[in-house]
Amino acid sequence: MQVTRQPANLDSVDAGQGIRNSDETGHAQTPNGFSESNGLTATAGDDDKKRRENPKQKRNKPTLSCLECVERKTKCDRARPCLACVKRQSACEYTAVANLIASSDRKNSHPSSKARYIKPPIKVRRTSLAQSPLSIRASPTVTDKGWSSLDGSTHRQQHSQNSSPILFSNVPISQQSAPSNVFGVGSQHPFANYWTCQGGLPEVVTVLPNKDQADILVSKYFEIVDSVYPFIHRRTFYSDYELFWALEDKGKADASLVALHYAVYALGTQFMQFTPLEERSQTAEFYCSAANQALRVYSYLNRTSMRAIQAMLLMSYFLMNDNHASDAYAWAGIHLRQSYAMRLHRDPDIVVPEASTLEKQQRRKLWQAVFFHDTFLTILLTLPPTATHSDVPVESLSDENELSDDGIDVCVGTHSRIENLMSINVIAPQIPQTLPPPQPHHTIDQTTMKADIAYMRSMWHLGNLAQECLSSPLALSLPVANSMRHKESLVAAFRRLYKTFPAQLTILDHETLRQQANSNSRVVRQNLFLTSEYYHSLMLLQASENREHGVEPNVKATLEAAHEALDAFFKLWLMFEVEAVVWWAFQHRAFEESLLLARFLAIPPPPEAQSDPIYSKAKEDIARMLQIMERYGSDIEMHKTRKDVLRDAYLQIVV
């Protein structure tokens, strides 16, 4: 990376010293170190003599910048408060001399040059903007997913109308007087500032929960979150976890490990069943803020490790569940760039051939998790995918590599494989720590490990197909298919992929899944997540259109795919209600599916299709979704908007 240096202020440097240096013989030297002609020797000697006789005076100028900017060595605009402190959300204090000088300047200067005061935005303006119909919902006749509008006309009359019926902020930026909120949710900064400048990691670890509470939160994380996103190696995590809690001075631990622990605590707290919602939300947000502060201490922007990326990925899922989709999308961009920098997108057999089998497998699993998160979040938000370059073979995520004992007794998450050859970890590499023997709850059986790997491979294949067929075209408002034959080939590719999924992940019968949930809830969760993602993608494909090339939406196939996707959410609600309330992505997919059903049912079906039972099933699905939405999220503005939009669409159904 090229570093740009600011030019030196030559006015504050002595002429003889700032332009030329003198060698030991008194000859003037150019900046390159070569002596000039002897004719300048006397002049240089006189200058040197004058400098010795008149030593440079010490600086006697009062500091006018705020104390926080002086300490951080950042630029201060000297306002009350300064802009830098406003952005940092820190206290802005000045010395008494600085305040006196500023007060004098304001009295004697022109009114236009008075100190700038930062005022909060006018509440009336923010409220009116938030409640504007344009900012809450899109016009029902406009969509950028290739769906038919309510009146049956195509949405591609104006490509400049790049709004979505699902996203809630459709006001053009040029019409907004306040900063644009990208997706209309999460208008506040997600990480509250509880931390001081000098506290460092010792301050962060002072707010740790007690060990018993931490054990409960970690157990809840591995029960629920790890079931559907199994990218953390359980044994190495628990070994590091126990070693950390055994430390006398936890402030000297690895900051990325502390960040990972807090991220796990935050997600575990979100799924606690018997804690009041408000208390649960505040506690989880506090843990996530602590994770963010630990990452700042770690300097996560200029260094990285597998632990740091794992922590950031979990924090992104937390932000989504905490109704901060905009923040989650932006935050995901950081850990994705860091994943590229760590070369997780490359085949580990090529870039780290000397690594153990366990470390290679963990690199593959972490890249799969980053890729999967990026692909399906961008599909939901109709934005371009970022995790698009990789040569990691999906099949290399094999059972053999997962069950291998190579590297099982050595911690793999402590340090990153840094490209900088001058790094201290390269010059003086630290000796890996040998892990202690595992306790029973630190490991999982081989059958579960194989099931997890099969689930991750299935999700990986689905992500590759969805990214290729849906992500890029939808992000650019382009047709998904160029002809009916092309569309049929894409649908066939999805159906062929579905046949390759393991049998336990394709069970759709509700009673079978309910019985299985009592004995193996982990597989049932994986089944529901894969089913939802697959049929949601198939729904988008079947609903796509390209009227110019004769591509019409397949209404019946769209209704059938949306029905199966919605049914996965209904099963999740019946079997794991607490989890269904928390998972934002699952809720939002169900909302999209219900809204699309309502829009197709608002178009009168052809006479030969009026007796098809799929139409009545679709209408029942929407009514059931509205009933469920009445039971959660009543205090969240975004959720209220979802209900209003879906209820309005439901009233326009003509079937």
pLDDT band with cut points at 50, 70 and 90 for residue 32: very low
- 167 pLDDT more than 80: no
Average pLDDT taken over every residue of the chain: 79
Per DSSP, what are the bridge partners of residue 434? 410
Strand, coil or helix: what is 301?
Answer: coil
The closest of 205, 221, 413 to 293, measured between CA atoms, is 205
Neighbour tally for 214: CB within 10 Å = 18
327-340 pLDDT, tens digit per residue, is 999 999 999 999 99
Q: Are 46 and 58 in contact (CB under 8 A)?
A: no
Residue 402 has pLDDT above 70, yes or no: yes
Average pLDDT of span 610-619: 92
Confirm if 416 and 363 have CB atoms less than 8 A apart: no
Please count the other Cβ atoms lying within 10 Å of the Cβ belonging to residue 446: 11
Determine the Cα–Cα distance for residues 530 and 501; give it in Å rounded to an integer: 9
- Range with lowest mean pLDDT among 62-76, 492-506, 519-533: 62-76
Decide: 168 and 185 in contact? Cβ < 8 Å.
yes
Report pLDDT for 273.
87
Q: What's the pLDDT score for residue 7?
A: 40
User: Which pair of structure tokens corresponds to residue 326?
Assistant: 């905009």
Confidence at residue 48, expressed as pLDDT on a 0 to 100 scale = 54
> Rounded to 5 degrees, what are φ and ψ at 410?
-125, 135
Length of the chain: 655
Report the distance separating Cα 383 and Cα 586, nearest Å: 18
What is the rounded distance in angstroms from the CA atom of residue 422 to the CA atom of residue 521?
48
Position 191 scores a pLDDT of 77
Task: Choose from 236-250, 440-454, 561-575 the range with maximum mean pLDDT.
Answer: 561-575
| Max avg pLDDT among 168-177, 305-314, 434-443 | 305-314
Model pLDDT, residue 154 = 39
Residue 535 has pLDDT above 70, yes or no: yes
Given a contact cutoff of 8 angstroms between Cβ atoms, the answer to whether 618 and 562 are in contact is yes
d(CA 591, CA 565): 11
**What average pLDDT does range 611-626 have in this prediction?**
94
Q: What is the pLDDT of residues 105-130, one digit of tens each?
A: 554 444 333 333 333 333 333 333 33
Question: What pLDDT shows up at residue 441?
Answer: 76
Give per-residue pLDDT as tens, 198-243. Answer: 889 999 999 999 999 999 999 999 999 999 999 999 999 999 999 9
